[in-house]
Amino acid sequence: MSASSDYRKSHIDSDKGCSYHKTFSENPYRAMIWGFERRILDRIITEFYPAQEITHLDFACGTGRVLKYLANRCSLSVGVDLSPSMLEVARSDCLGSEVIEADLTRNDILGDREFNLVTAFRFFPNAEPELRQQAMAVLTKHLCKDGFIVFNNHKHTGSSRNRLARLFGRRGFQGMSIPDVKELVTRNNLEVERTYHLCVFPASEKHMLLPEFALRKVEGILARIPALCGFGENLVFVCKRAQVT
């Protein structure tokens, strides 16, 4: 996906939902990363919502992977996406959640509804800069005063894999840098409260380089070393409203 293309059109094919959903169970690398992401979500719930009800909005929810995982810990669970085929899977898999087909950046049908947990996974680094800003603006609008927006950058351009690609004269993948993320957050009057990192080892879906069990152990160790955050390919950010000084 190039930065100039329209990410809105990327998942609207009639068969996209089923094929996309299967990748997180059938692709060993994606399945492994989703396992690590679940652990991060568990930590976020434990650390940031220790004794309060959670009202959850999952933006660009796709087939409902994140929505379903968090639903039983939320008093309200809402997923929004614009792809009919993706939402067909989500509706069959997330029976306790409200699943809405809409493009909030063009028609914000949520009105004045607010949520204290807003998630957006595998969206921002894929989207073109203008769409990123439009999306973050609408998500901030629906964030409760003391709530948190949790999103990931699974295409961190400063990752070890991208650094190695450039070292050997290759272009590497496009996505977002840490300064890109900070600019997006700051522009919407947010600040990063916590950052988690994954995928420090320069593997990929097509080239894992190590057996799965070994890569899982290596990544588990590297994810616990804060100094390696800047080398992770998948960064998860917990953001809150910026403090007024």
pLDDT for 9 equals 86
Counts for the chain of helices (H) and strands (E), in that order: 8, 7
Provide the pLDDT for residue 14: 84
pLDDT at residue 28, as a whole number:
95
118 belongs to a structural domain: yes
CA pair distance 76, 137, nearest whole angstrom:
22
Is 23 part of any domain? no
Per-residue pLDDT, 245: 64
Say if 213 falls within a structural domain.
Answer: yes
Phi first, then psi, for residue 114 (nearest 5°) are -130, 155
Consecutive H or E run containing 198: strand 190-198
pLDDT on residue 243: 84
Say what the pLDDT of residue 89 is: 96
CATH number of the CATH domain containing 235: 3.40.50.150
Residue 159 lies in a domain: yes
What is the tally of structural domains in the chain? Answer: 1
Which of 225, 214, 242, 236 minimizes the C-alpha distance to 29?
214
Report the distance separating Cα 44 and Cα 60, nearest Å: 20
**Domain that residue 135 falls in:** 29-241
Cβ atoms of 55 and 116 closer than 8 Å: yes
The reported pLDDT for the residue numbered 2 is 43
Give the mean pLDDT of the chain. 95
The answer to whether residue 231 sits within a structural domain is yes
75, part of any domain = yes
Q: Indicate whether 18 belongs to any domain.
A: no
Residue 4 lies in a domain: no
The residues of the chain scoring below 50 in pLDDT are 1-4
pLDDT of residue 102: 97
pLDDT attached to residue 3: 42
